[in-house]
Amino acid sequence: MPARVPDSLRGLTREIDAWISFGCPDRALAKLEPLLTTPGARPAGLALQTRALIELARYGEALECLRELRELGSDEEWLDITEGWCHKRLDDLPTAIACMRRLVERANKSAIGHFNLGCYLALAGATEEAIDEVTLACGLDQQFRALAEKEDDLLSLRDEPRFQDLLPNLPPSAPPS
């Protein structure tokens, strides 16, 4: 999630981002204080802190950062997606679903929002609605067809003809006889 930071902290921001990208979120967290204590840099610091905490599977703490970012008026799509992702990993599917519903109601052309909503609905056992959402995602962005084929969250949909019709490497299902 891009955020503006003072010129004096841009190098540190890139370094922290690199530590997270290189799989060293603990090193990133150790370097965050200047971003978190500088008013203009706080949103960027919180976004990086969120990413690092997620890498460390500290989802509850990441949600605290996301709440503050929401109050600061940060990118709502990123916030909804990330919040839903954290709630899913905390086994709170109803809240994860609510996050994605909020996103697609606000931004109905968000392919990732529809796809994630479909994934969470599939995990919750709402098969038809899950297929509807994944279908919307695939219609908005064809790349989601390949993702749907590999996504473990959608395993419960694999035998459904409507779902099979979405997958690029499977022949379309035969019409009912």
Count H helices, E strands: the chain?
A: 11, 0
pLDDT at residue 2, rounded to an integer:
46
As its CATH architecture, domain 75-177 has Alpha Horseshoe (1.25)
Average pLDDT over residues 99-128: 97
pLDDT, tens digit, for every residue of 21-42?
999 999 999 999 999 999 889 9
The domain segmentation of the chain, as residue ranges, is 1-73, 75-177
Q: What is the pTM of this model?
A: 0.86
pLDDT at residue 136, rounded to an integer:
97
- CA–CA dist 127, 81 (Å, integer): 21
Average pLDDT over residues 173-177: 49
pLDDT, tens digit, for every residue of 139-171?
999 999 999 999 999 999 999 999 999 887 755
Amino acid (1-letter code) at residue 122: A
pLDDT at residue 3, rounded to an integer:
58
Q: Residue 16 pLDDT > 50, yes or no?
A: yes
Q: What pLDDT band is residue 7 in, cutting at 50, 70 and 90? A: confident
